[in-house]
DNA sequence: CAGTGGTCTAGACCACACT
DNA sequence: GTGTGGTCTAGACCACTGC
């Protein structure tokens, strides 16, 4: 903590810090507490969290310390600050960030000129995790997983073929029908229906030639190279919650990446 | 500024802000001033900039305001803070961030197990910009540009074939020899030899099949799909300074991307 | 030890949104 | 007007580095 001679009312969190061996800044601890509340669903995606002043009182720290904690969470896209309105739990349903994890963009124009993707669910079934899938999702081999296969089309052109695997337990009740009926990003459905919010992801990208089955699903001429995009998406606390393998046509689109 | 009744010694920058029509926070203006000094080369890559207190005095603002300006520059990788030592101008020469813009990583192990890339300069010549290259580099068609072609190998396996184009004026004097002799990242050479620091970049990624010439340079069997990575790299003030087209083998490596 | 960045506080005022 | 986040300040103390 910060003063060995606190005037009177030493902050509770600061006391806790002094008592523990492991040192970390106060605002990091506050960040952790807010994260816990997010994970526990105390504030749901799209809702506002308490004001900085309220949180400062709750955690018995200054507003500035809460502010710094929120700043970091906001820069990680877990919260969204809106001046004059409040601070909100981020969601994949917002139109702004609807395609935050989809980096495929048209060569000409943008997503608006092209319009929204058409989604077609090809398949959705329950099966046992292979060793590879289990490893990616931090499960045991043979654990139950859901496999979804779908095709995304832009301007009626089939462009993305995706297979994705989800741990069966948190996604109990997911069916091809519910996926097909839902009108919006899949990650938004995960939030509202299963309380699973994807926070970050890693992708491994390769160039591949599709096999016959893949070629037919995308209605491709032979010898068309495709982008293979393997994604692991994580929810809070870095828990892997989805493995996704996508094949992207890149004759009219490209994968866009900003290096900073 | 912040008070209509300043006690006595109103900050100079704050006064300036009140005088101008366009509003922007003080710390943004300070950020701009620091950026100007960086661009002008007042502090060179690897050197330390003045302490927060010194800058606060210089700009006549509080340390906290300078701090916020530096924070943003540091989060953009333009500056690097080192507690107890100072704040330093970022550089591509540091071992930590040597491959900041190279996202190709081995499927197994990491860059350390694989060792450094072997670089072979195939070609370096001066020519006139095509319309396409001129557009990418914000030049006029026919302006003089340098074209460099090189092959990068990992563990003796040719893995990357790159063509890159640079505006001839800022890079006057660049030759194949100087490139071949330099031991380190190309962007580090650009910093030390030409005072050009690459700050950010954009990449467009596609899957392609190489033509015969490309296949031979990479010693590939036929029908090997490759990643096509087109990069535009920018220096300060978003000035494009390099166009780069890479072909990446992705049988033993992959392009890694973190989505946040 | 002095000097640097890092944390924390308290208080003031500004910009914005709603009512 | 009230309440929210956003900016700015001033001062204190902590953590790290190097003399």
Query: Mind listing the pLDDT tens digit for each residue in A214-227?
Result: 999 999 999 999 99
**Pairing relation of β-strands B144-154 and B157-167?**
antiparallel
Please report which confidence band the pLDDT of residue A256 belongs to, taking 50, 70 and 90 as the band edges: very high
Taking CA atoms, what residue in A is nearest to B258?
Answer: A202
- Contact at CB, A202 and B227, closer than 8 angstroms: no
DSSP at A98: T
pLDDT tier at A54, thresholds 50, 70, 90:
very high
Interface check for A68 against chain B (CB to CB < 8 A): the answer is no
3-state SS class at A23: coil
Angstrom distance (rounded) from CA B98 to CA B92: 5
Cβ partners under 8 Å of residue B81, min gap 6: B70, B74, B87, B88
What pLDDT does residue B22 have? 58
A83 CA → D4 C1’, Å = 6
Query: How high is the pLDDT of residue B207?
Result: 98
Banded model confidence at residue A18, pLDDT cuts 50, 70, 90? very low
Residue A147 is encoded by which pair of tokens? 């496999």
Cβ-Cβ contacts under 8 Å for A107 (sequence gap 6 or more): A252, A253, A254
CA gap B212, B224 in Å, rounded: 11
pLDDT tens digits along A148-198: 999 999 999 999 999 999 999 999 999 999 999 998 899 999 999 999 999
Under an 8 A CB cutoff, do A225 and B205 touch? Answer: no
A226 touches chain B (CB under 8 A): yes
Nearest-Cα residue of chain B relative to residue A226? B207
Question: Looking at A16-25, A109-118, A242-251, B21-30, which range is the least confident one?
Answer: A16-25
Query: Which H or E run contains A192?
Result: helix A186-194
CA-based nearest residue to A139, from A129, A147, A148 = A129
Q: Which of A 100-129 lie inside 8 A of B, CB atoms? A: 100-101, 103
Nucleotides of D under 7 A from a protein CB: 3-18
Question: Residue A252 has what DSSP assignment?
Answer: S
Chain A residue numbers touching B207 (CB-CB < 8 A)? 207-208, 225-227, 248, 250
Partnered with residue B200 across adjacent β-strands are B234
Residue A60's pLDDT is what? 97
pLDDT of residue B15: 44
- A:B CB pairs within 8 Å: 96
pLDDT in tens, B46-105: 999 999 999 999 999 999 999 999 999 999 999 999 999 999 999 999 877 778 999 999
Is A236 an 8 Å CB contact of chain B? Answer: no
Calculate the CA B184 to chain-centre distance.
15
The DSSP code sequence of chain B is ---SS--S---HHHHHHHHSSS---HHHHHHHHHHHHHHTTSS-TTSEEPPHHHHHHHHTS-HHHHHHHHHHHHHTTSEEEETTTEEEE--TTSSTTTTTT--EEESSS-HHHH-PPEEEEEEEEEEEPPHHHHHHHT--TT-EEEEEEEEEEETTEEEEEEEEEEETTTTTT--HHHHHH--S-HHHHHHHHH-----EEEEEEEEE---HHHHHHTTPPTT--EEEEEEEEEEGGGEEEEEEEEEE--SSEEEEEEE-
- Cβ–Cβ < 8 Å for B134, B143: yes
Which tokens in the block code for residue A140? 């045991």
Task: Provide, rounded to the nearest whole percent, the portion of chain B with pLDDT above 90.
Answer: 83
For residue B103, the number of C-alpha atoms closer than 13 Å in the C-beta half-sphere is 25
- Other CB atoms closer than 10 Å to residue A104's CB: what's the count? 22
Q: Which CATH architecture has domain A10-89?
A: Orthogonal Bundle (1.10)
Nearest by CB: A225 against B201, B209, B259: B209
Instruction: Name the packing angle between helices A52-59 and A63-75 (round to 10°).
Output: 120
Query: Which nucleotides of strand C are protein-proximal, with an atom < 7 A from a CB?
Result: 3-18
Does B9 have pLDDT greater than 70?
Answer: no
State the Cα–Cα distance between residues A136 and A133, nearest whole angstrom: 5
Spell out residues with C-beta < 7 A from strand D.
Answer: A 2-4, 23, 49, 51-54, 64, 67, 81-87; B 2, 11, 14, 17, 25-28, 61-65, 68, 82-85
What CA dihedral angle connects B91, B137, B203 and A113, to 10 degrees? Answer: 140
Is there a contact between A256 and B76 if contact means CB atoms under 8 Å apart? Answer: no
SS3 A116: coil
**Interface contact A204-B100, CB threshold 8 A:** no
In this prediction, residue B117 has a pLDDT band, given cuts at 50, 70 and 90, of: confident
Q: Strand pairing of B86-89 and B48-49? A: antiparallel
Calculate mean pLDDT across residues B126-135.
97
Let me know: does A179 contact A186? Beta carbons within 8 Å.
yes
By percentage, how much of chain A surpasses pLDDT 90? 83
Query: Do B27 and B65 touch, CB atoms closer than 8 A?
Result: yes
Mean pLDDT, chain B, as a whole number? 90
Strands lying side by side in the sheet with B144-154:
A104-106, A253-259, B200-208, B226-235, B239-248, B157-167, B144-154, B118-128
Locate A206 and state its tokens.
Answer: 């390769």
Predicted model pTM: 0.90
Mean pLDDT score, A28-39: 96
In terms of pLDDT, which residue wins out, A118 or A95? A118
User: CA B32 – C1' D15 distance (Å)?
Assistant: 30
> Are the beta carbons of A201 and B259 separated by less than 8 Å?
yes
Would you call B256 an interface residue with chain A, using a CB distance cutoff of 8 Å? yes
Task: Answer whether any strand C atom is within 7 A of the Cβ of A87.
Answer: no
Top CATH class of B99-255 equals alpha beta
Best of B76, B110, B198, B207 to mutate (most A CBs within 10 Å, chain A): B207
Cα–Cα distance for residue pair A219/B178, rounded to 1 Å: 49
pLDDT at A22: 58
pLDDT of the residue at A116: 83
Straight-line distance from CA B251 to C1' D15, in Å? 47
- In this prediction, residues A60-83 reach a mean pLDDT of 97
Domain with CATH 3.40.1410.10 in chain B: 99-255
Secondary-structure breakdown of chain A: helix, strand, coil percentages, each rounded to the nearest 5: 30, 30, 40
Q: Which of B132, B200, B259 to mutate to test binding with chain A, by most A CBs within 10 Å of its CB?
A: B259
Token output for B82: 């080192």
Return the minimum-mean-pLDDT range out of B9-23, B223-237, B243-257.
B9-23
Lowest average pLDDT, out of A218-227, B19-28, B196-205, B216-225, goes to: B19-28
Determine the residue of chain A that is closest to B208 in CA distance.
Answer: A225
A102's CB contacts (< 8 A; 6+ apart) are none
Listed in order, the ranges of chain A carrying CATH 1.10.10.10 are 10-89
């Amino acid at each position: 903590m910060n003063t060995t001679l606190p005037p009177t009312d030493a902050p509770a969190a600061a006391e806790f810090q002094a008592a523990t061996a492991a040192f970390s800044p106060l605002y990091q601890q506050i960040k952790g507490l807010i994260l816990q509340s997010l994970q526990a669903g105390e504030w749901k995606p799209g809702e506002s969290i308490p004001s900085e002043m309220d949180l400062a009182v709750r955690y018995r720290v200054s507003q500035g310390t809460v502010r710094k904690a929120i700043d970091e969470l906001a820069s990680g896209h877990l919260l969204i600050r809106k001046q004059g309105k409040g601070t909100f739990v981020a969601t994949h349903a917002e139109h702004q960030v609807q395609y935050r994890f989809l980096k495929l963009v048209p060569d000409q124009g943008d997503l608006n000129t092209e319009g929204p993707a058409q989604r077609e669910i090809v398949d959705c079934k329950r099966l046992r995790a292979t060793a590879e899938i289990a490893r990616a999702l931090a499960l045991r081999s043979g654990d139950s997983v859901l496999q979804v296969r779908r095709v995304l089309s832009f301007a009626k052109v089939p462009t993305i073929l995706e297979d994705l695997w989800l741990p069966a337990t948190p996604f109990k009740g997911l069916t091809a029908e519910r996926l097909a009926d839902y009108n919006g990003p899949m990650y938004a459905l995960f939030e509202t229906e299963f309380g699973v919010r994807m926070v970050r992801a890693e992708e491994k990208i390769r160039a591949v030639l599709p096999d016959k089955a893949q070629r037919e699903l995308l209605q491709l001429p032979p010898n068309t190279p495709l982008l293979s995009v393997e994604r692991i998406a994580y929810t809070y606390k870095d828990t892997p919650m989805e493995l996704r393998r996508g094949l992207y046509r890149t004759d009219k689109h490209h994968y866009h990446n900003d290096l900073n």
